[in-house]
Chain A
Amino acid sequence: MTVTENTVPAGSADHNTVAEAAEATVPAVSKGERFTSYDVRAFEVPGGREENWRFTPMKRLRGLHDGSAVANGEVKVDADVASELRVETVGREDGRLGVAGVPSDRIAAQAYSSFSTATVLTVPKETKASAPSVIRLTGPGEGNTAYGHLQVRLEQFAEAVVVLDHQGSGTYADNVEFVIGDSAKLTVVSVQDWADDAVHVSEQHLKLGRDATLKHTLVTLGGDLVRISPTATFADKGGDVELLGLYFSDAGQHQEHRLFVDHAVPNCKSNVVYKGALQGDGAHSVWIGDVLIRAAAEATDTFELNRNLVLTEGARADSVPNLEIETGEIEGAGHASATGRFDDEQLFYLQSRGIVEEQARRLVVRGFFHEILMKIDVPEVRERLEAAIEAELEAVGA
């Protein structure tokens, strides 16, 4: 039996719902049967109407999806990592690559078929990294295209905090693998702070071993088009994944986050919280939250939430949660999605205490993101994000 549930709880504090895209449809094809392949030739060129692509402005992909985007640049990788960690640059033939997941769309397969070298970051077994590790990825430059591959692997009982910091210009497609060994613990924050021209399409493969823990945060601030698809799978029981996201879409920006949590083994947990703010003409955010609980995945516990705050006219947020349940023996499963404008009651309350409107708005937006920011337990990153949010608010004069 497949049950797809889509509920938007009535208690949502939002007024003036702008886009309520919690579609009560059973997907035509179960997420469990999606096509995957390492080989780009195995995929048809998408036209834009496919379920997978219907929100993406294909013209702005600069040919990443149809093979016309030929690599003519490189993404510069700077690793500033804790001393216990190992960083390697390896060739395509390295046997460790590709173990966390198989590309599930044509661009990911294109990236997998096209990269020349990969970066592998290893946290040896039973090692706790003494400091956060930062991998800075700088785009190939305006007008240039690059493909890349990165793998972060934690051997059993390893622990680490890893920050991926994307910046610069150009067009970039890649696969990122997180291979988290048994009982290992990884905190990762991936920041997409691209320049205005950048196009970045990425599939992130999250594979958790037995009793492994992953806290994965995506922060998307910049870029012309950013589309990130994290897929989480569990190799064995006891995995616990928290997927957090924060995005701020400005005029003309397309920011798309497509999540898939595949519960195929018993006793695993997933918790998804994504929050976005949008401002300016043509700002567009897309959030897809697919959770599949397969028949074998008894005692699964999952929840996902997406909230969007639309700050100005002309911005659009699409939000599609999707929960497919194939077993009745689950701990809990739920999801919620809400998109709203500023809450007039909140603004009135703050203003009635003498706080000027502009400042009241800032308080509300900061408050909106607070829940996520507090969960980012890398102080340097949190401070930088707080500053970035302030800057975004300055820009619009909210």
Chain B
Amino acid sequence: MSSLEIKDLHASVVTDEGAKEILKGVDLTINSGEIHAIMGPNGSGKSTLSYAIAGHPKYQVTSGEVLLDGENVLDMTVDERGRAGLFLAMQYPVEVPGVSMSNFLRTAATSVRGEAPKLRHWVKEVKDEMSKLDISADFAERSVNEGFSGGEKKRHEILQLGLLKPKMAILDETDSGLDVDALRVVSKGVNDFKASNDAGIMLITHYSRILKHVQPDFVHVFSEGRIVESGGPELADALEESGYVRFTGGKQEEAAAR
């Protein structure tokens, strides 16, 4: 049983012009076995929340706490957070030229597991996970994310999720840019991961279509750096119907209309 507690989190982005506050008091607790969907207009700070939790150097936490099983995550380096059981599937996964996917996956698994996986088991494990996600075998020898299509990048984020088996996973718009078939495959990957690891999931999305495949226990509306409304799955349907406008005071009408 794990928990991720986010308490009154404030964070700023570091830009050339100085720091700009984006997160303005986020409160959220995710327990293992729970799926929390976070929905909100463009620019409301959803990715900033995920980066701040993962420890991206561009984002500075100015106050508040993030605890994983009671341990202060904010005191940890980025890689310590990864090894402690946090995982971020990024909205825009990064290309790392010259580093093969297979080398990367094995290095990451070795780091997270604390020992190198036995080669024979590992090869099979990767092969199985890849085929579950309909990823062809030749991706293993390609450079990490380099030249991958948007959908291929997302599949590989979920591949890592399945192999690294974190306690808490943040999926930042993993559904964006996926066609219908890919959405089904990726959703299955997420569900399998959750079922076999009893993990907690924060699922950031703009669309309720993924929520038909990955059933959320809670839905939160995110606006201007905070959670402004929380409810059950029915909230996602209400958002689909009427947009974010009633939660954002009309300011984000345009974004809500998408």
Q: Residues of A with Cβ closer than 8 Å to B?
A: 13, 344-346, 348-357, 359-360, 363-364, 366-371
Contacts and interface: CB of A to CB of B under 8 A. Distances in A.
Contact of A351 (B78, B99, B103): B78
A353 B96 contact: no
B79 A357 contact: yes
A271 B55 CA distance: 41
B231 interface: no
B160 interface: yes
B98 A359 contact: no
A354 B111 contact: yes
B80 to A, nearest CB: 8
B95 A13 contact: yes
B108 interface: yes
A350 B104 contact: yes
Nearest to A359: B107
B78 A348 contact: yes
Contacts, number: 86
Nearest to A349: B94
Given A344-B58, A353-B160, A354-B112, 9 more contacts: A352-B78, A353-B87, A354-B111, A355-B82, A359-B107, A363-B99, A363-B104, A366-B98, A371-B97
28 contacts: A346-B94, A346-B95, A348-B56, A348-B78, A348-B94, A350-B104, A351-B78, A351-B79, A351-B82, A352-B55, A352-B78, A352-B87, A353-B87, A353-B104, A354-B112, A354-B164, A355-B79, A356-B111, A357-B77, A357-B79, A363-B104, A367-B143, A368-B97, A368-B98, A369-B98, A370-B99, A371-B97, A371-B98
Interface residues of B, number: 31
A56 to B, nearest CB: 31
A382 B56 CA distance: 35
B79 A354 contact: yes
Contacts of A348: 54-57, 78, 94
Secondary structure at the B interface, as helix, strand, loop or mixed, is mixed
A276 to B, nearest CB: 15
Given A357-B79, A359-B107, A352 B54 contact: yes
B96 A350 contact: yes
Contacts of A13: 95, 97
Contacts of B90: 349
B110 to A, nearest CB: 9
B150 interface: no
A218 B80 CA distance: 40
A357 B80 CA distance: 10
Contacts of A366: 98-99
A364 B99 contact: yes
Contacts of A351: 77-79, 82
Given A355-B107, A357-B79, A370 B97 contact: yes
B10 interface: no
Interface string B35-58: 000000000000000000011111
A353 B159 CA distance: 12
B93 interface: yes
A349 B144 CA distance: 10
A349 B93 contact: yes
A344 B99 contact: no
